[in-house]
Structure formats: structure tokens, C-alpha cells
């Protein structure tokens, strides 16, 4: 498959580190050097499905397609208002799309997991065009009294349209299953029969463990797919790394020995938007005209699960 269109949508409200310092024991001096984040877009009155819809329509327009041209819609999402139907169905209803619709919850690497599913549908000859939307509102998952997590996240949606092609060179998915390092729980509705205790736990993260996992798996898997495809680091034009923390991106960059110019980043004014981060970055780079046909792009993302994934494709 190959990418023929991208889109993204962000909430209008921008919250700076100084804004956070108004109600949290934190500061721009703490957050910026440790994360690379100065501000983030935060959902106020928007609905996540509307951001997903806007990103989808922009990607379809960029691809020159209509909703009726799409054969499969994959939506990557961790949390939204609807437990059912799936967010892909909610967005499909909003844009008048009638193809099979699947949601996946693979946390931050969701865009790459969705690409892997799509690529297999193409290889099976079952589809001509696939739409992927990653829509996330992680600011609704954290406790806003927990300064170690809430300062890291921002909301948004990113989308990409894929058609037949031979541009995907390799995808590697990875899991190192562990619940305790990064999780959130919420009680379900009570019943007359339930006897076990359920707790509401806002997003809990062992920052250092996740940091180490991110850098080590990303480096290992990027090096593996480059080795398997006989490609050198120098031949890659852009490394599209999940925008979780600038120091994670820096750790990966230094490990690969590649120049900063090959690592586009928007974390400064976006924060971590979970699986939406890679397609939002992709769309922003595309709209700036950063890519030319044939450019070699490596994606890498990591997060709850613990899951991670890398993909190597040509623009």
C-alpha cells in the first residue's frame, strides 16, 4: 500500500506550562527541559468524534477520494465517550461512510498497528482504499492533580488514506506485556450480583520504566528492520518518532547516530497525543511540503501494553 492523503484536527484551547503552574506545583522550568513540551491542545467543548471526522475529511480531500471510495476504516483510540458503538462507527455515521469499521486500542503505537492490519488487507487483495484515523483525548485520562502525568499530554486526531502500492518495506510489531507500568481503570456500572471491588485509577505511569522501554525497543526494532531490508541509517530521510518526550526522541536519535534534521518534531506545542501523535506529525510535515516522492520514512511508537511498533515506508 501507499499513503495518498493525510489530515489532522486539534482542539482550539492551548494550555501552556505557565497556565498549568497556576493550579499545579510545577513550572515551565521543570517541564520544558525534561519533556520538550511548552504547550498542548486540550479538549474543552469539542467532541473527539468531531476531531476524528475533521481529520478524516481532510485526509480524504487530500487523497482526492470520497467516503464511498473507502473499503475499510480502522480507528485507533484508547478513550472516548462511547463505549459502544465503536468510534469508527460513530465517525462513519458522521461522514456517511458505509464500509467495514474496526476500532483498535493499542495505545500510542496504534497508527503503526493499524497500518499493519491495513497492509495485510491489501496483501490479501480485499481492499483498494483504506482510511486510518487515530483520535485521542488523553487529557481525559489523567488526574489533573498528578503533576507527573497530566503535564505530558495533549489531544487531537490524525488521519491517513492508503491505496494499492508497494511502498511499505517493513513493519515490526512488538509487545512486552506489563500492566503495572502504564494503566488506567474505571468501575463499570454496578449490578445486584457483583461482589468484587472495582477501583477508579486515573492514568498511572512509571515514567522512568516507560522511558527505558521506549528508547531500547525503538532502537532495537529500527535497527532490525533496517538490517532486514538492507538499508543504512544514512539512507533514511525522516524518522517519525511518537511525540512522547523530546528526551526519548533524542535518545533514539543519538543511538542511531542520525542528525536532528531527520527527526521532525511538534512536541513543543502538542505534547503527547497517544496514537494520534504520529499521523498528526505526518500531516503537518506533508502540508509543509517536507516530503518528496520516494523519501524513506521510518515510524516508531511505544506506549501502554507495553506495546511498540516500527514501520519503514516510502513516501
* Contact call for residue 263 and ligand COA (CB under 6 A): no
* 94/50 Cα distance (integer angstroms): 8
Find the shortest distance in angstroms from Cβ 23 to ligand COA.
12
Task: Give CA torsion, residues 121, 123, 126, 127, to 10 deg.
Answer: 70
* 216/176 Cα distance (integer angstroms): 12
* 39/153 Cα distance (integer angstroms): 9
* Contact call for residue 31 and ligand COA (CB under 6 A): yes
The CA-based angle 302-305-311, given to 5 degrees, is 35
Strand, coil or helix: 314: strand
* Contact call for residue 196 and ligand COA (CB under 6 A): no
Rg (CA), the chain: 19
Strand, coil or helix: 268: helix
Q: Which of 59, 108, 115, 118 binds ligand COA (CB under 6 A)?
A: 108
CA 144 distance to own-chain centroid? 22
* Strand-by-strand arrangement of the 238-241 sheet: 168-178, 305-314, 296-303, 238-241
List residues with catalytic annotation.
Answer: 108, 242, 272
Q: Which of 30, 82, 263, 268 binds ligand COA (CB under 6 A)?
A: 30
* 72/121 Cα distance (integer angstroms): 9
Closer Cβ to ligand COA, 128 or 178, answer by number = 178
Q: Which of 8, 129, 272, 286 binds ligand COA (CB under 6 A)?
A: 272
Q: Which of 57, 75, 236, 244 binds ligand COA (CB under 6 A)?
A: 244
Closer Cβ to ligand COA, 82 or 211, answer by number = 211
Contacts with ligand COA in 209-228 (CB under 6 A)?
210-211, 214
* Contact call for residue 151 and ligand COA (CB under 6 A): yes
* Contact call for residue 255 and ligand COA (CB under 6 A): no
* Total number of residues that touch ligand COA (CB under 6 A): 21
Q: Which of 148, 175, 185, 201 binds ligand COA (CB under 6 A)?
A: 148
Which residues contribute to the site for ligand COA (CB under 6 A)? 26, 30-31, 34-35, 108, 147-148, 151-152, 205, 207-208, 210-211, 214, 244-245, 248, 272, 303
Amino acid at each position: 500500500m501507499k499513503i495518498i492523503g493525510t489530515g489532522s484536527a486539534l482542539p482550539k484551547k492551548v494550555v501552556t506550562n505557565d497556565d498549568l503552574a497556576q493550579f499545579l506545583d510545577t513550572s515551565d522550568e521543570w517541564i520544558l527541559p525534561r519533556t520538550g513540551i511548552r504547550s498542548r491542545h486540550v479538549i474543552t467543548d469539542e467532541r473527539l468524534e468531531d476531531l476524528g471526522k475533521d481529520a478524516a475529511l481532510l485526509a480524504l480531500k487530500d487523497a482526492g477520494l470520497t467516503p464511498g471510495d473507502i473499503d475499510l476504516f480502522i480507528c485507533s483510540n484508547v478513550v472516548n465517550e462511547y463505549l459502544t458503538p465503536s468510534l469508527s462507527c460513530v465517525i462513519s455515521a458522521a461522514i456517511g461512510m458505509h464500509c467495514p469499521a474496526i476500532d483498535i486500542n493499542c495505545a500510542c503505537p496504534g497508527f503503526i498497528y493499524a497500518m499493519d492490519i491495513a497492509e495485510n488487507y491489501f496483501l490479501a487483495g480485499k481492499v483498494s482504499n483504506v482510511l486510518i484515523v487515530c483520535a485521542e483525548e488523553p487529557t481525559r485520562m489523567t488526574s489533573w492533580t498528578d503533576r507527573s502525568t497530566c503535564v505530558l499530554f495533549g489531544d487531537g486526531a490524525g488521519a491517513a488514506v492508503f491505496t494499492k502500492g508497494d511502498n511499505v518495506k517493513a513493519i515490526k510489531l512488538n509487545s512486552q506485556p506489563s500492566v503495572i507500568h502504564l494503566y488506567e481503570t474505571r468501575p463499570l456500572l454496578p449490578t445486584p450480583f457483583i461482589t468484587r471491588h472495582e477501583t477508579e485509577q486515573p492514568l498511572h505511569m512509571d515514567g522512568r520504566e516507560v522511558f527505558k522501554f521506549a528508547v531500547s525497543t525503538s532502537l532495537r526494532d529500527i535497527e532490525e528492520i533496517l538490517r532486514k531490508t538492507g538499508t543504512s541509517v544514512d539512507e533514511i530521510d525522516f524518522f517519525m518518532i511518537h511525540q512522547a518526550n523530546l528526551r526519548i526522541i533524542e535518545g533514539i536519535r543519538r543511538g542511531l547516530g542520525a542528525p536532528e534534521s531527520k527527526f521532525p518534531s511538534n512536541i513543543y506545542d502538542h505534547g503527547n497525543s497517544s496514537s494520534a501523535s504520529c499521523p498528526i506529525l505526518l500531516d503537518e510535515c506533508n502540508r509543509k511540503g517536507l516530503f518528496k516522492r520516494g523519501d524513506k520514512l521510518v515510524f516508531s511508537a511505544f506506549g501502554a501494553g507495553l506495546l511498540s511498533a516500527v514501520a519503514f515506508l516510502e513516501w
